[in-house]
Amino acid sequence: MSHDVFKADSKLPDRLLVALREQGYTTIGPTARDGAIVLDEIHASADLPVGLREDQEAGHYRLQARRDEAVFGHTVGPQSWKRYLFPPNHRLWAAKRSGGSFEIKPQHEADHRLAFIGVRPCELAALEIQDRVFFGEEHVDPHYAALRTRAFIVTVNCAEAAPTCFCGSMGTGPRAEDGYDLALTEILGRGRHEFLVEVGSERGATLLEALELKPAGKDALEAARKKAAELAGSMTRRVETDGLAEALMANLEHPHWAKTAERCLACANCTMVCPTCFCSTVEDVADLSGDHDERWRRWDSCFNSQHSYVHGGNMRPTIRSRYRQWLTHKFAGWIDQFGTSGCVGCGRCITWCPAAIDLTEELAALRGAVTT
Protein backbone atom coordinates (compact mmCIF):
# COMPACT_ATOMS: atom_id res chain seq x y z
CA MET A 1 0.00 0.00 0.00
CA SER A 2 1.08 3.62 -0.46
CA HIS A 3 2.63 5.13 2.64
CA ASP A 4 0.42 8.11 3.44
CA VAL A 5 2.10 10.64 5.73
CA PHE A 6 0.50 12.74 8.45
CA LYS A 7 1.72 15.22 11.02
CA ALA A 8 0.90 15.38 14.71
CA ASP A 9 1.83 17.36 17.80
CA SER A 10 3.74 16.18 20.86
CA LYS A 11 0.60 14.59 22.34
CA LEU A 12 0.63 11.87 19.69
CA PRO A 13 2.21 9.13 21.88
CA ASP A 14 -0.57 9.42 24.47
CA ARG A 15 -3.25 9.43 21.80
CA LEU A 16 -1.76 6.37 20.14
CA LEU A 17 -1.56 4.46 23.40
CA VAL A 18 -5.17 5.25 24.24
CA ALA A 19 -6.38 4.22 20.77
CA LEU A 20 -4.44 0.94 20.83
CA ARG A 21 -5.63 0.00 24.30
CA GLU A 22 -9.23 0.77 23.34
CA GLN A 23 -8.81 -1.76 20.52
CA GLY A 24 -7.72 -4.40 23.00
CA TYR A 25 -3.96 -4.24 22.59
CA THR A 26 -1.48 -4.61 25.43
CA THR A 27 0.95 -1.78 24.76
CA ILE A 28 4.65 -2.55 25.22
CA GLY A 29 7.37 0.07 24.94
CA PRO A 30 10.69 1.39 26.22
CA THR A 31 10.92 2.70 29.75
CA ALA A 32 13.75 3.63 32.11
CA ARG A 33 14.41 1.22 34.96
CA ASP A 34 17.50 0.16 36.93
CA GLY A 35 19.75 2.49 34.98
CA ALA A 36 18.82 1.21 31.53
CA ILE A 37 16.21 1.47 28.79
CA VAL A 38 14.14 -1.71 29.09
CA LEU A 39 10.87 -2.95 27.61
CA ASP A 40 7.69 -3.22 29.65
CA GLU A 41 3.97 -2.58 29.51
CA ILE A 42 3.27 1.14 29.21
CA HIS A 43 0.05 3.13 29.57
CA ALA A 44 1.01 6.75 28.87
CA SER A 45 3.87 8.86 27.53
CA ALA A 46 4.97 9.44 31.12
CA ASP A 47 6.09 5.79 31.14
CA LEU A 48 8.43 6.42 28.19
CA PRO A 49 12.07 7.55 28.73
CA VAL A 50 11.35 11.21 27.98
CA GLY A 51 14.44 13.42 28.02
CA LEU A 52 16.91 10.53 28.30
CA ARG A 53 19.68 9.25 26.09
CA GLU A 54 22.31 6.54 26.40
CA ASP A 55 26.07 6.80 26.54
CA GLN A 56 27.27 3.60 24.88
CA GLU A 57 30.65 2.20 23.94
CA ALA A 58 32.30 -1.19 23.93
CA GLY A 59 31.64 -2.66 27.38
CA HIS A 60 30.02 0.59 28.58
CA TYR A 61 26.42 1.78 29.06
CA ARG A 62 25.03 4.72 31.04
CA LEU A 63 21.82 6.75 30.95
CA GLN A 64 22.17 10.51 30.59
CA ALA A 65 19.77 13.44 30.59
CA ARG A 66 19.12 15.17 27.29
CA ARG A 67 18.78 18.91 26.80
CA ASP A 68 15.31 18.50 25.34
CA GLU A 69 12.10 16.56 25.98
CA ALA A 70 12.51 14.01 23.21
CA VAL A 71 10.23 11.05 23.76
CA PHE A 72 12.35 8.70 21.67
CA GLY A 73 15.74 10.35 22.07
CA HIS A 74 17.41 7.08 23.09
CA THR A 75 18.64 4.24 20.88
CA VAL A 76 18.52 0.59 22.04
CA GLY A 77 18.95 -0.94 25.48
CA PRO A 78 19.80 -4.49 26.56
CA GLN A 79 16.38 -5.99 25.75
CA SER A 80 14.96 -6.75 22.32
CA TRP A 81 11.40 -7.38 21.18
CA LYS A 82 12.02 -11.08 20.64
CA ARG A 83 11.43 -11.64 24.37
CA TYR A 84 7.68 -11.14 23.75
CA LEU A 85 7.40 -13.40 20.71
CA PHE A 86 10.10 -15.94 21.63
CA PRO A 87 10.08 -15.71 25.45
CA PRO A 88 13.15 -16.65 27.54
CA ASN A 89 10.99 -19.27 29.29
CA HIS A 90 7.98 -20.83 27.61
CA ARG A 91 5.92 -23.85 28.68
CA LEU A 92 5.24 -26.13 25.72
CA TRP A 93 2.88 -28.57 27.43
CA ALA A 94 1.83 -30.01 30.76
CA ALA A 95 1.01 -33.65 31.58
CA LYS A 96 -1.14 -34.92 34.44
CA ARG A 97 -1.53 -38.50 35.60
CA SER A 98 -4.98 -39.83 34.76
CA GLY A 99 -5.62 -43.40 35.87
CA GLY A 100 -2.92 -45.62 34.44
CA SER A 101 -1.70 -43.07 31.85
CA PHE A 102 -1.05 -39.35 31.39
CA GLU A 103 -3.20 -36.65 29.88
CA ILE A 104 -1.11 -34.17 27.92
CA LYS A 105 -2.37 -30.62 27.57
CA PRO A 106 -0.56 -28.49 24.97
CA GLN A 107 0.05 -24.85 25.81
CA HIS A 108 -2.62 -22.85 24.02
CA GLU A 109 -1.86 -19.26 23.21
CA ALA A 110 -3.93 -16.64 24.97
CA ASP A 111 -6.05 -14.62 22.59
CA HIS A 112 -4.35 -11.36 23.44
CA ARG A 113 -2.75 -8.84 21.12
CA LEU A 114 0.49 -6.98 21.65
CA ALA A 115 1.33 -3.51 20.34
CA PHE A 116 5.06 -2.73 20.19
CA ILE A 117 5.75 1.00 20.55
CA GLY A 118 9.15 2.38 19.57
CA VAL A 119 10.55 -0.45 17.46
CA ARG A 120 13.75 0.83 15.84
CA PRO A 121 14.39 0.05 12.16
CA CYS A 122 17.21 -2.36 13.02
CA GLU A 123 14.87 -4.13 15.45
CA LEU A 124 12.17 -4.29 12.80
CA ALA A 125 14.70 -5.99 10.54
CA ALA A 126 15.47 -8.40 13.40
CA LEU A 127 11.79 -9.30 13.73
CA GLU A 128 11.67 -10.03 10.02
CA ILE A 129 14.70 -12.32 10.37
CA GLN A 130 13.06 -14.15 13.27
CA ASP A 131 9.96 -14.53 11.08
CA ARG A 132 12.05 -16.60 8.67
CA VAL A 133 13.28 -18.77 11.53
CA PHE A 134 9.97 -19.41 13.28
CA PHE A 135 7.32 -19.36 10.57
CA GLY A 136 8.97 -18.63 7.26
CA GLU A 137 9.35 -22.27 6.22
CA GLU A 138 7.42 -25.54 6.56
CA HIS A 139 8.12 -25.91 10.31
CA VAL A 140 6.05 -23.20 11.99
CA ASP A 141 6.32 -22.34 15.69
CA PRO A 142 2.64 -21.93 16.66
CA HIS A 143 3.38 -19.74 19.70
CA TYR A 144 5.49 -17.28 17.72
CA ALA A 145 3.11 -17.25 14.74
CA ALA A 146 0.03 -16.61 16.90
CA LEU A 147 1.60 -13.62 18.64
CA ARG A 148 3.44 -12.21 15.62
CA THR A 149 0.48 -12.16 13.25
CA ARG A 150 -1.59 -10.22 15.80
CA ALA A 151 1.18 -7.79 16.82
CA PHE A 152 0.80 -4.10 15.96
CA ILE A 153 4.16 -2.48 15.15
CA VAL A 154 4.88 1.20 15.72
CA THR A 155 8.36 1.89 14.40
CA VAL A 156 10.36 4.99 15.37
CA ASN A 157 12.93 6.19 12.87
CA CYS A 158 16.24 7.13 14.46
CA ALA A 159 17.33 10.74 14.79
CA GLU A 160 20.63 9.86 16.47
CA ALA A 161 22.98 6.89 16.47
CA ALA A 162 24.95 5.43 19.34
CA PRO A 163 28.70 5.06 18.74
CA THR A 164 28.13 1.29 18.72
CA CYS A 165 25.50 1.40 15.94
CA PHE A 166 26.40 0.12 12.48
CA CYS A 167 22.96 -0.47 10.95
CA GLY A 168 23.86 1.84 8.05
CA SER A 169 26.36 -0.67 6.69
CA MET A 170 23.96 -3.59 7.25
CA GLY A 171 21.15 -1.92 5.30
CA THR A 172 18.75 -2.09 8.25
CA GLY A 173 18.48 1.55 9.33
CA PRO A 174 18.36 4.21 10.53
CA ARG A 175 15.06 4.53 8.66
CA ALA A 176 12.38 1.88 8.09
CA GLU A 177 10.80 1.59 4.67
CA ASP A 178 8.26 -1.19 5.26
CA GLY A 179 7.20 -3.98 7.60
CA TYR A 180 5.41 -1.73 10.12
CA ASP A 181 1.85 -0.62 10.81
CA LEU A 182 2.87 2.94 11.67
CA ALA A 183 6.25 4.67 11.56
CA LEU A 184 7.04 7.81 13.57
CA THR A 185 9.69 10.42 12.99
CA GLU A 186 10.15 12.77 15.94
CA ILE A 187 11.04 16.37 15.06
CA LEU A 188 12.42 18.81 17.64
CA GLY A 189 14.01 22.22 17.47
CA ARG A 190 13.22 25.92 17.15
CA GLY A 191 10.22 25.57 19.41
CA ARG A 192 8.81 22.60 17.50
CA HIS A 193 7.98 19.20 18.89
CA GLU A 194 6.11 17.25 16.23
CA PHE A 195 5.81 13.82 14.71
CA LEU A 196 5.55 12.61 11.15
CA VAL A 197 3.38 9.50 10.96
CA GLU A 198 3.71 7.12 8.00
CA VAL A 199 1.08 4.48 7.37
CA GLY A 200 2.40 1.02 6.50
CA SER A 201 -0.67 -1.21 6.70
CA GLU A 202 -4.45 -1.26 6.62
CA ARG A 203 -4.43 -1.74 10.42
CA GLY A 204 -2.34 1.39 10.76
CA ALA A 205 -4.64 3.38 8.48
CA THR A 206 -7.70 2.26 10.43
CA LEU A 207 -6.16 3.30 13.73
CA LEU A 208 -5.21 6.75 12.42
CA GLU A 209 -8.74 7.45 11.20
CA ALA A 210 -9.82 7.86 14.82
CA LEU A 211 -7.01 10.35 15.50
CA GLU A 212 -7.99 12.72 12.66
CA LEU A 213 -4.45 13.83 11.83
CA LYS A 214 -3.60 16.35 9.14
CA PRO A 215 -1.70 15.22 6.02
CA ALA A 216 1.96 16.20 5.88
CA GLY A 217 3.56 17.70 2.82
CA LYS A 218 6.06 15.83 0.64
CA ASP A 219 8.77 18.27 1.69
CA ALA A 220 8.56 17.07 5.30
CA LEU A 221 8.96 13.45 4.25
CA GLU A 222 11.89 14.22 1.96
CA ALA A 223 13.59 16.17 4.75
CA ALA A 224 13.19 13.16 7.07
CA ARG A 225 14.67 10.84 4.45
CA LYS A 226 17.59 13.16 3.85
CA LYS A 227 18.34 13.36 7.56
CA ALA A 228 18.25 9.56 7.83
CA ALA A 229 20.71 9.23 4.95
CA GLU A 230 23.05 11.72 6.61
CA LEU A 231 22.81 9.80 9.88
CA ALA A 232 23.64 6.51 8.16
CA GLY A 233 26.72 8.09 6.60
CA SER A 234 27.91 9.52 9.92
CA MET A 235 28.13 6.19 11.76
CA THR A 236 31.71 5.53 12.82
CA ARG A 237 31.39 1.74 12.95
CA ARG A 238 30.62 -0.35 9.90
CA VAL A 239 30.87 -3.85 8.50
CA GLU A 240 31.98 -4.50 4.94
CA THR A 241 29.49 -7.19 3.95
CA ASP A 242 30.62 -7.88 0.36
CA GLY A 243 32.36 -11.24 0.30
CA LEU A 244 32.31 -11.47 4.10
CA ALA A 245 30.74 -14.94 4.32
CA GLU A 246 33.31 -16.37 1.93
CA ALA A 247 36.16 -14.67 3.78
CA LEU A 248 35.06 -16.09 7.12
CA MET A 249 34.71 -19.64 5.83
CA ALA A 250 38.12 -19.38 4.17
CA ASN A 251 39.74 -18.34 7.47
CA LEU A 252 38.46 -20.95 9.91
CA GLU A 253 42.01 -21.54 11.17
CA HIS A 254 42.94 -17.85 11.34
CA PRO A 255 45.06 -17.14 14.47
CA HIS A 256 42.71 -14.32 15.41
CA TRP A 257 40.13 -16.84 16.67
CA ALA A 258 42.51 -17.95 19.42
CA LYS A 259 43.52 -14.38 20.17
CA THR A 260 39.94 -13.32 20.83
CA ALA A 261 39.19 -16.51 22.77
CA GLU A 262 41.77 -15.41 25.33
CA ARG A 263 39.56 -12.38 26.08
CA CYS A 264 36.12 -13.97 25.66
CA LEU A 265 34.48 -15.07 28.92
CA ALA A 266 31.87 -17.24 27.17
CA CYS A 267 29.32 -15.41 29.35
CA ALA A 268 26.74 -15.46 26.51
CA ASN A 269 25.88 -11.76 27.00
CA CYS A 270 26.17 -11.17 23.25
CA THR A 271 23.62 -13.86 22.42
CA MET A 272 21.23 -12.86 25.21
CA VAL A 273 21.02 -9.23 24.03
CA CYS A 274 21.05 -10.10 20.31
CA PRO A 275 17.63 -9.47 18.71
CA THR A 276 17.99 -12.39 16.27
CA CYS A 277 19.70 -15.24 18.16
CA PHE A 278 17.26 -18.13 18.54
CA CYS A 279 19.10 -20.99 20.27
CA SER A 280 17.02 -22.78 22.88
CA THR A 281 17.01 -25.90 24.99
CA VAL A 282 14.18 -28.06 26.30
CA GLU A 283 13.77 -29.01 29.95
CA ASP A 284 11.30 -31.43 31.52
CA VAL A 285 10.20 -30.58 35.05
CA ALA A 286 8.27 -33.10 37.19
CA ASP A 287 6.88 -32.80 40.70
CA LEU A 288 7.99 -35.13 43.48
CA SER A 289 4.77 -37.19 43.33
CA GLY A 290 5.28 -38.03 39.67
CA ASP A 291 1.70 -36.95 38.91
CA HIS A 292 2.56 -33.79 37.04
CA ASP A 293 5.16 -32.98 34.40
CA GLU A 294 5.87 -29.91 32.27
CA ARG A 295 8.06 -29.33 29.26
CA TRP A 296 9.67 -25.89 28.99
CA ARG A 297 11.64 -24.22 26.25
CA ARG A 298 14.35 -21.88 27.53
CA TRP A 299 16.84 -19.60 25.83
CA ASP A 300 20.24 -21.15 25.31
CA SER A 301 23.48 -19.96 23.74
CA CYS A 302 26.12 -21.47 21.48
CA PHE A 303 28.63 -20.12 24.03
CA ASN A 304 27.36 -22.52 26.68
CA SER A 305 29.52 -25.62 26.95
CA GLN A 306 26.53 -28.01 26.96
CA HIS A 307 24.94 -26.48 23.88
CA SER A 308 27.13 -28.51 21.50
CA TYR A 309 27.12 -31.70 23.54
CA VAL A 310 25.95 -34.77 21.63
CA HIS A 311 26.13 -38.47 22.40
CA GLY A 312 29.80 -39.28 22.74
CA GLY A 313 31.13 -35.86 23.59
CA ASN A 314 31.22 -32.11 22.98
CA MET A 315 31.70 -30.92 19.40
CA ARG A 316 32.98 -27.52 20.55
CA PRO A 317 34.84 -28.01 23.83
CA THR A 318 36.79 -24.72 23.71
CA ILE A 319 35.82 -21.04 23.83
CA ARG A 320 37.68 -20.61 20.55
CA SER A 321 35.46 -23.13 18.78
CA ARG A 322 32.26 -21.75 20.30
CA TYR A 323 33.17 -18.15 19.47
CA ARG A 324 33.98 -19.17 15.91
CA GLN A 325 30.64 -20.97 15.61
CA TRP A 326 28.74 -17.88 16.74
CA LEU A 327 30.44 -15.45 14.38
CA THR A 328 30.50 -17.69 11.29
CA HIS A 329 26.89 -18.73 11.81
CA LYS A 330 25.78 -15.13 12.21
CA PHE A 331 27.52 -13.84 9.08
CA ALA A 332 27.75 -16.93 6.87
CA GLY A 333 25.60 -19.88 7.93
CA TRP A 334 22.48 -17.75 8.30
CA ILE A 335 22.75 -16.67 4.68
CA ASP A 336 22.69 -20.31 3.55
CA GLN A 337 19.81 -21.15 5.90
CA PHE A 338 17.59 -18.08 5.70
CA GLY A 339 18.89 -15.96 2.84
CA THR A 340 20.07 -13.15 5.11
CA SER A 341 22.77 -12.28 7.60
CA GLY A 342 21.86 -12.82 11.24
CA CYS A 343 23.10 -9.35 12.20
CA VAL A 344 21.17 -6.07 11.95
CA GLY A 345 23.87 -3.71 13.24
CA CYS A 346 22.18 -2.72 16.51
CA GLY A 347 25.54 -2.85 18.35
CA ARG A 348 24.17 -4.47 21.50
CA CYS A 349 26.80 -7.22 21.47
CA ILE A 350 29.52 -4.55 21.54
CA THR A 351 27.98 -2.53 24.35
CA TRP A 352 27.13 -5.44 26.61
CA CYS A 353 30.31 -7.48 26.20
CA PRO A 354 32.19 -7.25 29.56
CA ALA A 355 35.45 -7.84 27.68
CA ALA A 356 34.63 -5.01 25.21
CA ILE A 357 35.02 -7.29 22.18
CA ASP A 358 33.99 -5.26 19.15
CA LEU A 359 32.30 -7.32 16.44
CA THR A 360 33.13 -4.79 13.71
CA GLU A 361 36.84 -4.94 14.57
CA GLU A 362 36.69 -8.74 14.74
CA LEU A 363 35.24 -9.08 11.26
CA ALA A 364 37.75 -6.63 9.81
CA ALA A 365 40.61 -8.56 11.38
CA LEU A 366 39.37 -11.92 10.17
CA ARG A 367 39.08 -10.77 6.58
CA GLY A 368 42.57 -9.27 6.71
CA ALA A 369 41.75 -5.56 6.85
CA VAL A 370 43.43 -5.22 10.25
CA THR A 371 46.82 -6.59 11.21
CA THR A 372 46.49 -9.37 13.79
Model pLDDT for residues 96-146, shown as the tens digit of each residue: 988 878 888 877 766 789 999 999 999 999 999 999 999 877 889 989 999
pLDDT tens readout for residues 295-326: 999 999 999 988 888 888 888 999 999 999 99
Q: Work out the pLDDT band at 1, boundaries 50, 70, 90.
A: low
Domain count, the chain: 2
At 13, the pLDDT band (50, 70, 90 cuts) reads very high
Closest CA to 38 of 96, 84, 97, 89: 84
Q: 362 lies in a domain?
A: yes
Domain boundary among 189, 213, 234: 234
Distances (CA, A) of 277 to 82, 129, 185, 268, 360: 9, 10, 28, 11, 18
* 198 and 61 belong to one structural domain: yes
Whether residues 228 and 254 share a domain: the answer is no
> Both 211 and 306 in a single domain?
no
Tell whether omega for the bond before 174 is within 30 degrees of 0, i.e. cis. yes
Q: Are residues 208 and 265 in the same domain?
A: no
Decide if 256 contacts 365 (C-beta within 8 A): yes
Asked which of 234, 255, 271 is the last residue of a domain, the reply is: 234
Q: Which residue has the higher pLDDT, 224 or 322?
A: 322
The residue out of 212, 234, 256 marking a domain boundary is: 234
pLDDT at 371: 39
Higher pLDDT among residues 104 and 11, named by residue: 11
Report, in angstroms and rounded to the nearest whole number, the Rg of the chain calculated over CA atoms: 22
> Left (φ > 0), alpha (ψ -120 to 50) or beta: where does 122 sit?
alpha
DSSP output for 206-238: HHHHTTTPEEPPHHHHHHHHHHHHHHHHH-S--
Say if pTM beats, i.e. exceeds, 0.85: yes
pLDDT tens digits, 49-65: 999 999 999 999 999 99
38 is a domain residue: yes
Indicate the angle between helix axes 142-150 and 121-135, nearest 10 degrees.
Answer: 140
Do residue 190 and residue 265 come from a single domain? no
Give residue 317's domain range: 244-366
Do residues 62 and 141 share a domain?
yes
